[in-house]
């Protein structure tokens, strides 16, 4: 007898082994169009310094999505991602960042990198990427080096953030509403966008509760946002402490 939890258990096992996994159909399909529209609105309304184009010109990012639309509220409370947090960080975790990233048509592949080093208090960092658009081989799907999270150790801490890129990375493709879950220590980066369309994604990261978050949500969220948040969401954002 198969249960709804079996795919989740399989994904968690993959996360442990490879450092990343993809869980399909996490965001209900009826929510995808409103999320997509809210994403485009937020990017139109966003302004520097929260709206930034990478130095390569390949991608545009919008930081601090928590305040920008209620459509984003569910995206940092996704059950399979929170289950992965409990397993990898433990029950004491919080959201460190939530942002959007558009990989622009014509973008070159992003160098492989990690999002955290073992000597930082944000270790272990568990990240997720919600596919707003389909991730395909030709439009900038994120690539990962399997098992590379094991290469990151306190003893072997590297200088700088770029990791060797010998084409051993694999692309992670999926339908809109799929979610990639990965350790920030797994070598990763987006691939080239050879299509004529942007590739949109919403991504975030969780860290131990005692670690230094990328965003102080207590300072960054406005009262309207805080009033609509559930107690569970307030806890994950650590806005009350």
Ligand X SMILES: O=C(O)CCC(=O)C(=O)O
Kindly give, in sequence order, each residue whose CB lies less than 8 Å from that of residue 38, ignoring residues fewer than 6 positions away: 68, 69, 71, 72
**Contact window for ligand X (CB under 6 A) among 23-31, 156-164, 187-195, 210-218:** 187-195
Does residue 190 belong to the site contacting ligand X (CB under 6 A)? yes
Q: Give the CA-trace dihedral at 89, 91, 97, 101, to 10 degrees.
A: 70
- Please give the residues from 100 up to 129 whose contact with ligand X meets the rule CB under 6 A: 101, 110, 115, 129
Stretch that binds ligand X, among 32-40, 66-74, 148-156, 183-191 (CB under 6 A): 183-191
**CB nearer ligand X, residue 68 or residue 101:** 101
Closer of 18 and 229 to ligand X (Cβ): 18
Q: Which stretch binds ligand X (CB under 6 A): 11-19, 46-54, 118-126, 186-194?
A: 186-194
CB of 202 to ligand X, least distance (A): 10
Q: Which stretch binds ligand X (CB under 6 A): 17-25, 30-38, 83-91, 182-190?
A: 182-190
**Given the complex with ligand X, which of 15 and 239 has the nearer CB atom?**
15
Non-local CB neighbours of 150 within 8 Å, separated by 6+ positions: 19
178 binds ligand X (CB under 6 A): no
Half-sphere exposure of 18 (CA within 13 A, CB side): 21
Q: 32-38 long-range CB contacts below 8 Å, 24 or more apart?
A: 32/132, 32/176, 32/177, 34/71, 35/71, 35/72, 35/75, 35/130, 35/132, 35/202, 36/132, 36/133, 36/176, 36/200, 37/71, 38/68, 38/69, 38/71, 38/72
**CA–CA separation, 211 and 231 (whole Å):** 21
User: Residue 18 or 188: which CB sits closer to ligand X?
Assistant: 188
CB 204, min distance to ligand X, A: 9
Q: Which of 181, 208, 207 is nearest to 19 (CA)?
A: 181
Q: Residue 99 or residue 229: which is nearer to ligand X going by CB?
A: 99
Q: Which of residues 37-96 bind ligand X (CB under 6 A)?
A: none
Which positions lie near ligand X, rule CB under 6 A? 101, 110, 115, 129, 142, 188-190, 201, 203
């Amino acid at each position: 007898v198969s249960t709804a939890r079996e795919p989740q258990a399989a994904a968690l096992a993959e996360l442990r082994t490879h450092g990343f996994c993809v869980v399909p159909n996490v965001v209900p399909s009826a929510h995808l169009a409103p999320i997509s529209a809210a994403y485009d609105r937020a990017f139109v309304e966003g302004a520097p310094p929260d709206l930034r184009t990478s130095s390569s010109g390949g991608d545009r990012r919008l930081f601090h999505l928590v305040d920008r639309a209620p459509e984003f509220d569910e995206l940092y409370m996704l059950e399979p991602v929170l289950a992965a947090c409990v397993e990898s960080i433990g029950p004491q975790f919080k959201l460190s960042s939530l942002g959007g990233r558009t990989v622009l048509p014509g973008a070159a592949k992003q160098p492989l990198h990690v999002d955290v080093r073992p000597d930082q208090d944000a270790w272990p960092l568990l990240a997720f990427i919600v596919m707003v658009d389909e991730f395909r081989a030709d439009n900038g799907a994120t690539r990962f080096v399997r098992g590379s999270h094991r290469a990151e150790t306190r003893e072997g801490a590297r200088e700088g953030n770029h990791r060797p890129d010998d084409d051993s990375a694999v692309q992670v493709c999926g339908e809109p509403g799929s979610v990639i879950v990965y350790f920030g220590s797994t070598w990763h980066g987006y691939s080239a966008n050879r299509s004529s369309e942007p590739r949109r994604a919403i991504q975030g990261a969780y860290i131990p509760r005692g670690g230094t978050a990328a965003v102080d949500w207590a300072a960054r969220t406005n009262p309207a946002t805080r009033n609509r948040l559930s107690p569970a969401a307030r806890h994950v954002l650590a806005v009350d402490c």
